[in-house]
Amino acid sequence: MPPLLQIEHLSVRFDTDDGVVAAVDDVSFALNRGEILGIVGESGCGKSATALAIPRLLPMPPARLSPASSIRLDGLELTSLPVPALRALRGARIGMIFQDPMTALSPLRRVCDQISEALRLHRRLSAAEARHLALDWLVRVGIEDPERCARAYPYELSGGMQQRVMIAIALCHDPDLLIADEPTTALDVTTQAQVLNLMQALCRKTTALLLITHDMGVVWRMCTQVAVMYAGEIVEQAPAPAFFARPLHPYAIALLEAIPSAATRGRPLRAIPGQVPSALAWPGGCRFAERCLCAHPDCLTQHPTLAAARSDAARLVRCPYADENTP
């Protein structure tokens, strides 16, 4: 059986006044039902662009996909799917939770109507039934006074409440693929736990989840697979337990060391020195070379490929020295 989601050679370009921004470069991965893939990485490295490309929600132009890009859902090629079919698919089979809730919610309509609409798109429900289910979903995402929330307009809700309304809309029609772009950043940890449990329960059944987050604790708790992105590329991809036991890519290692905690109190955090290079002109060699503490002379000229790690063929890493770098 083919994987539920198969992405191959995905490249996203933005045509801007300054030139072409190579936001996503030759990204490939597959995701099966029941799997949760966590994508982590530097801000601006192309996580959202990757996620938005799947249901074709990138603004085109300025965005475009390179001709080699292929995105298949259950074998169906999405990059060339006609718009009406795509639109139907988006609602029915793909659930999206965005980084910014206000882009997904309509500002002038009550919360209840927005959830009911999502529910009634795929099931024949009377208005009263839909309303009842909508309230039920507000409770399931941890809203304490669902009646008030249902009647409210989005601007009358706190950031976290808006985010949960969007989560309810994404989850309520039982999608095959759930794409969640920082779904819990505006939520407190107890509500976050509730929402994560909900998503996890969904994935135990038949859904695959693509989870973008900056919170390594969330990745640890939720994900079966981890992909680390840097400068538009995947630099490491591994089963989650192996990744946390021993990250291989120098960027991934540095990322895990930058987590603030009680142990870091009173001293500076280990930030990675320097900046991500400009997406207008990626450097020719390793894109992390300028900031890499283990860089070798040829790192500046040789662009490393994403290849199986020597120590573990089940993991991919974009650094020929990865196995030497780690203790």
By CB under 6 A, name the binding residues for ligand ATP: 14, 16, 21, 23, 43-49, 59, 62, 99, 155-161, 186, 279
Measured from the CB atom, the residue of 61 and 274 that comes closer to ligand SF4 is 274
The separation between the first and the last C-alpha atoms of the chain, rounded to the nearest angstrom, is 39
d(Cα 116, Cα 134) in Å, to the nearest integer? 6
Among 6, 11, 48, 116, binds Mg ion (CB under 5 A): 48
- Show the site string, 62-81: x = touches ligand SF4 by CB under 6 A, - = not: --------------------
Report the alpha-carbon distance of residue 150 to residue 162 in Å, rounded: 11
User: Would you call 272 exposed, middle or buried from its count of C-beta atoms within 10 A (0-12, 13-18, 19+)?
Assistant: middle
Q: Give the type of residue at 166.
A: M
Q: Which of 159, 217, 273, 284 binds Mg ion (CB under 5 A)?
A: 159
CB of 85 to other proteins, least distance (A): 29
Query: Identity (one letter) of the amino acid at 11?
Result: S
Interacting residues with other proteins between 111 and 150 (CB under 8 A): 144-145, 148
Q: Quickly count: other Cβ atoms within 10 Å of residue 82's Cβ.
A: 7
Largest CA distance in the chain: 68
The reply on whether position 295 binds ligand SF4 by CB under 6 A is yes
Q: Give the DSSP H or E segment for 97.
A: strand 94-97
Parallel/antiparallel/unpaired status of strands 76-77 and 70-73 = antiparallel
Q: Least distance in Å: CB of 27 to ligand SF4?
A: 18
92 DSSP assignment: H
Task: Rank residues 119 and 252 by Cβ distance to other proteins and give the closer one.
Answer: 252
250 forms part of the interface with ligand SF4 (CB under 6 A): yes
SS3 category, 135 = helix
Q: What's the token pair of residue 327? A: 């203790």
Binding-site ranges for ligand SF4 (CB under 6 A): 250, 286, 288-289, 292, 294-296, 299, 304, 319, 321
Binding-site ranges for other proteins (CB under 8 A): 14, 16, 18, 21, 40-45, 48, 99-100, 102-103, 108, 144-145, 148, 153, 156-161, 164, 182, 185-194, 196-197, 200-201, 214-218, 220-222, 244, 254-256, 258-262, 264-265, 268-272, 275, 278
Binding-site ranges for Mg ion (CB under 5 A): 48, 159
